């Protein structure tokens, strides 16, 4: 499959805790991107990490990329109930391939 794998498939945490999601892929990338989707609506672009970068931060988000292991992780620190959503990684190599997604539930 062209799609990457994400784990866990579902994650439930308390507000204030950190959430970590992992993404693995099989082939080459130009960059890897993370998106959020609320309740089956449109996706929101969160962060992009280029293939020659190892770590990137944006607010409460931290993304790492290990091209030797073909994997990436998204860390959300100090989670909030509003972070409840599905999170997808998307591998970009001429076109976009989305991973299977992680459904995050942040309990207030």
Closest CA to 37 of 97, 81, 91, 102: 102
> What tokens appear for 54 in the block?
């190892």
59 contacts other proteins (rule: CB under 8 A) = no
Q: Which is nearer to other proteins, 20 or 100 (CB)?
A: 100
Which single residue is written with the structure tokens 């391939």? 97
Among 50, 54, 57, 80, binds other proteins (CB under 8 A): 50
As a whole number of angstroms, the distance between CA 56 and CA 17 comes to 20
96 contacts other proteins (rule: CB under 8 A) = yes
Residue 17, phi then psi, degrees to nearest 5: -80, 165
Among 72, 98, 104, 106, binds other proteins (CB under 8 A): 98
40 contacts other proteins (rule: CB under 8 A) = yes
Among 16, 26, 45, 80, binds other proteins (CB under 8 A): 45
As a whole number of angstroms, the distance between CA 9 and CA 58 comes to 23
Which span (17-25, 29-37, 59-67, 75-83) binds other proteins, by CB under 8 A? 29-37
């Amino acid at each position: 499959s062209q799609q990457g794998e994400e784990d866990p498939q579902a994650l439930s945490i308390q507000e204030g805790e950190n959430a970590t999601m992992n993404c693995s892929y099989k082939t080459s990338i130009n960059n890897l991107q993370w998106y959020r989707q609320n309740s089956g609506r449109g996706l929101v672009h969160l962060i992009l990490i280029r293939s020659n970068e190892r770590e990137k931060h944006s607010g409460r988000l931290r993304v790492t990329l290990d091209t030797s292991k073909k994997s990436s992780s998204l860390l959300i620190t100090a989670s909030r109930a509003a972070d409840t959503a599905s999170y997808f990684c998307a591998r970009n190599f001429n076109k976009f391939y989305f991973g299977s997604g992680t459904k995050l539930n942040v309990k207030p």
